[in-house]
């Protein structure tokens, strides 16, 4: 059963970090764009460091970009992205860089 990882606004130029839980070699979830004016780049990041902060930037060496990025919805319409990526690391998070005010709902497919 999925759980709500984040719901709310991410304002233009703000960077927001949302923790997701890897399980059985995958990170899975749903990224909902709740309005037609949102625009952001969301990059999946990985770490094996237990000390790396999940919801703050942390040091550059603590989190590594996965190479998986979702961009949208470019002020076209509300929408959804289904996320499912292979992950062989102990922790994962979405780094959301807003380029317009965003209204988001992020669900983690793995329960705590």
pLDDT, one tens digit per residue, over 83-101 is: 899 999 999 999 999 999 9
Q: How many domains does the chain have?
A: 1
Residue 76: its pLDDT value, please?
66
Residue 111: its pLDDT value, please?
67
Residue 42's pLDDT band (boundaries 50, 70, 90)? very high
Q: Answer whether residue 56 is part of any domain.
A: no
Q: Answer whether residue 18 is part of any domain.
A: yes
Which range marks the domain in which residue 70 is found? 3-51+61-108
Residue 54 · residue 100 · CB < 8 Å: no
The CATH number of whichever domain residue 98 belongs to comes to 2.60.120.380
pLDDT at 75 over 70: no
The residues, ordered by sequence, that sit 6+ positions from 101 with a Cβ below 8 Å of its Cβ are: 9, 10, 11, 12, 37, 38
Given strand 102-108, what is the order of strands in its sheet? 3-10, 102-108, 26-33, 79-86
């Amino acid at each position: 059963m999925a759980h709500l990882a984040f719901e709310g606004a991410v304002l233009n130029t703000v960077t927001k970090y949302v923790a997701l839980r890897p399980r059985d070699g995958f990170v899975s979830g749903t990224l909902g764009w709740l309005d037609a004016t949102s625009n952001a780049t969301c990059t999946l990041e990985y770490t094996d460091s237990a000390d790396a902060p999940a919801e703050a930037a942390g040091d550059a060496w603590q989190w590594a970009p996965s190479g998986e990025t979702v961009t949208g919805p470019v002020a076209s319409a509300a929408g959804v992205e289904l996320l499912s990526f292979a992950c062989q690391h102990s922790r994962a998070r979405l780094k959301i860089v807003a380029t317009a005010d965003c209204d988001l709902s992020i669900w983690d497919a793995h329960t705590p």
